[in-house]
Amino acid sequence: MTALLPGVATLGVLGGGQLGRMFVHAAQALGYRCVVLDPDAVSPAGAVAEKHVKTDYLDHFGLAQLARDCDAITTEFENVPALALETLAGMRVVAPSGAAVAVCQDRAVEKAHFEAAGVPCAPHAVITNEIELAAIDPALLPGILKTSRMGYDGKGQMRVATAAELAAAWDDLKRVPCVLEQLLPLKAELSVLVARGADGQLVNFPVQQNLHRGGILAVTEVPARAVPAEVRQQAVAAARQVAEALNYVGVLCIEFFWLDDGRLVVNEMAPRPHNSGHWTMNGADVSQFELQVRTLAGLPLSEPRQHSASVMLNLLGDLWFSDEGGPTPPAWDRVLGLPGTHLHLYGKADARHGRKMGHLNITAATPEAAHQVAVQAAAILGLPTDF
């Protein structure tokens, strides 16, 4: 594709959440104008873009307006209807493609793609009817039952230990198509962010080590201090392999399980920038969001360079509430008094329990120094410090 140059082109994004907001900021820093399509009249991305199209993702007139106003269009979350991307692709440059996003929207299809790409994933079985339920291999238990579609941040997932619990869980999930994954003993959860251009150029960030609480990412540390070089190399190679097999264009995050026996298996992927890559906004010379802009606009992709050891703390709305009541803003002045702290709030007016309100990046000269300050910041905020 011919590059869409900064200062001339307009870029569009489906979705008005925080990932869209950070994409818009990165695009504007390069000189692009931005248009956001989101049905919510008040959205983080819509508040900062030059234009906000307030329609449903499948609204014909809204999509036509977005295509008219923009030279290229992306998405900020994987559950945008793939049909919307396919419709737009008939009018404008779209990345990632609707076909690639559709793979990521269905866990069963996603796992089949991993296997076809030669990347191992956890032992699993697909359940769409009672016959498949009855035929489940007992070796898959205990396991985690996950809805095939629309599950994220721990939603649509239930742990099961017996066949009876599995049947009950499938009932609780309304008998929608599901995937049962064998529960595996983990050393750590890892992720790799790659960016791939339409010309096939492919770059990646270093391996990220992640800690989840309640199914939601809580902490990311880069470099992954406890992970051997050969495991990191394996993760990067597998992530690049998955992106190539998808003929993917855009930023893609691949999540992995590093098992107690030393094996590495892929968990899932997200066709967009990812929470675990937020550290790149302060710890690398190019952020994941700038790479998203570059892949969409057809600009060259420079190999990212990490210049600072980094820790990212996810900030949920729970921090605004205390035993005395709430909501009350956390002690940002104390947090920002610590060296190397960078606060990113998402412009959401109402704090709610479990709602992603922002993140805190900590950068330092060494991983140990970044970790130490991150523990101090967590203590000030009332977050667990056992990481």
| Helix (H) or strand (E) segment spanning residue 255 | strand 250-259
Token readout for 121 is 């994933």
264 & 363 share domain = yes
Query: Please, what is the average pLDDT of the chain?
Result: 95
303 & 154 share domain = no
Count of structural domains within the chain: 3
Q: How confident is the model at residue 151, as a pLDDT?
A: 65
Banded model confidence at residue 322, pLDDT cuts 50, 70, 90:
confident
Final residue of a structural domain among 182, 204, 224: 182
199 & 53 share domain = no
Token readout for 296 is 């969409």
d(CA 74, CA 57): 13
**Of residues 138, 190, 134, 183, the one with CA closest to residue 158:** 183
Using DSSP, state whether 134 is helix, strand or coil.
helix
CATH of the domain at 247: 3.30.470.20
Q: 167 is in which domain, residue-wise?
A: 123-182
**Of residues 284, 306, 287, the one with CA closest to residue 295:** 287
Percent of the chain with pLDDT over 70: 98
d(CA 360, CA 341): 7
Name the phi and psi angles at 372, rounded to 5.
Answer: -60, -45
Banded model confidence at residue 79, pLDDT cuts 50, 70, 90:
confident
Residue 67's CB is within 10 A of a number of other CB atoms, namely 19
196 & 157 share domain = no
The residue-averaged pLDDT of 368-385 equals 97
Contact 1, 93 (CB under 8 A): yes
d(CA 64, CA 52): 14
Task: Flag whether the pTM goes above 0.85.
Answer: yes
Using DSSP, state whether 151 is helix, strand or coil.
coil
How are beta strands 72-75 and 93-94 bridged, if at all? parallel
How are beta strands 157-160 and 143-147 bridged, if at all? antiparallel
340 & 363 share domain = yes
**Residue 10 above 90 pLDDT?**
yes
90 & 203 share domain = no
85 & 169 share domain = no
Contact 159, 215 (CB under 8 A): no
58 & 160 share domain = no
Using DSSP, state whether 148 is helix, strand or coil.
coil
